Amino acid sequence: MSFFKKLKESIAAKTEAVTSKFREGLAKTRDAFVGQVSDLFSRRKKIDEAFFEELEEILIGADVGVNTVMELIDELRAEVKKRRIEEPALLQPILSEKLVGLLKGDGEEAALKMNPDGITVILFVGVNGVGKTTTIGKLAHRFKQEGKSVLLAAGDTFRAGAIEQLEVWGQRVGVDVIRQGAGSDPAAVMYDAVQAAKQRKVDVLLCDTAGRLQNKANLMEELSKIYRVIQREIPSAPHETLLVLDAATGQNALQQAKLFGEKSGVSGLVLTKLDGTAKGGIVIAIQSELSLPVKFVGLGEKMDDLQAFDPEQFVHALFAGLVTEEETEAGE
């Protein structure tokens, strides 16, 4: 069996396993990005410099990121030379596999770090408007569905309505929220929340924080204070610090990730609103250019639309149905 036949069958098998959530959530990116890629691969009759330049433009336009695109194009050039590929259509499944490779990291790193000996504390950071509070509510629901007990900490005491918004989510999910009044010291809220979590012997404590502008030193210092308070009570905590980013902001999300990662001990990322943008390529750029794993992606507004990130499901949902029998036969 030829290389292309095996690769096509592998993609077909994986595509069948892709959840409808990923298919539906990535529809805009698939239409804008993969549609252009498919058109390019079928329209061009030979692999030349013009072909690679057009592919480069499409990838950069999808916010895959310049550095990542250059690396990807170099790898495709090498494959063309190594396998003596002449027809563009035969590169499409290879592009798919290369994207999976860029997105794949250590499997353990991509999974949430849980405390095996007690309360798991997860801290959420990010600027206002990215969907941080909504993400906390959805993750609380996810943990509840897994049979875990959950408590929420309303550490965003700065933004008007933030505490009430978290309480609404607490009511929807059926979990309690530890809070103080607006303008209170966030570190004091975290202290109360950790004490309550200990007394109630909950499995997971999810902590909201004020939306931070990464260039505001006082807000970063506040975050450091929150860390110290939590670690004094639970030395191994927080077990995760998740930076929430709005996928629709594209390269701005990448810049936020770089700045927050440098200054706030971020251990993983959550990309929200992926269903509402055609720039889903930002996931590839962030995963490739930073040493920060994408832990979850938001694929809709429903309670269960926060999905654990799976590189193969992501890529194969994008390319579902675009590798045809004709292309496979051409490679045999």
pLDDT at position 329: 40
Amino acid identity, residue 97?
E
Neighbours of 55 (CB within 10 A): 23
Contacts of 286 (CB under 8 A, 6+ apart): 65, 245, 253, 254, 257, 269, 271, 292, 294
Token code pair at residue 190: 């975290």
- Rounded Cα distance between 173 and 159, Å, is 22
Contact 65, 288 (CB under 8 A): yes
- Rounded Cα distance between 27 and 25, Å, is 6
C-alpha neighbours within 13 Å on the C-beta side of residue 177? 24
Contact 216, 252 (CB under 8 A): no
pLDDT in tens, the chain (332 residues): 566 566 556 655 544 444 566 767 777 777 777 778 878 888 888 888 899 999 999 888 878 878 889 988 999 999 888 888 888 888 888 888 888 887 775 555 678 899 998 999 999 998 888 889 999 999 999 999 999 999 999 999 888 789 999 999 999 999 999 999 888 999 999 999 999 999 999 999 999 998 766 556 677 788 889 999 999 999 999 999 999 998 888 778 888 887 776 667 888 889 898 877 766 778 888 877 777 888 998 887 888 888 888 888 787 777 654 444 333 344 44
pLDDT at position 279: 67
- Rounded Cα distance between 120 and 205, Å, is 6
**pTM, rounded to two decimals:** 0.82
pLDDT at position 29: 72
- Rounded Cα distance between 197 and 92, Å, is 51
pLDDT at position 293: 84
Instruction: Taking the CA atoms of 106, 112, 118 and 119 in sequence, report the sign of the dihedral they define.
Output: positive
pLDDT at position 19: 56
pLDDT at position 327: 39
Query: Which part of the chain has CATH 3.40.50.300?
Result: 111-310
Token code pair at residue 80: 């063309």
Domain 3-107+315-330 has CATH 1.10.357.10: no
Q: Burial level of 182, CB count in 10 A (0-12/13-18/19+)?
A: middle
pLDDT at position 330: 40
pLDDT at position 323: 44
3-state SS class at 178: strand
- Rounded Cα distance between 114 and 151, Å, is 15
Contact 91, 80 (CB under 8 A): yes
In the CATH scheme, what is the homologous superfamily, with its name and number, of domain 111-310?
P-loop containing nucleotide triphosphate hydrolases (3.40.50.300)
Q: In sequence order, what are the beta bridge partners of 204?
A: 120, 150
- Report DSSP state, residue 113: P
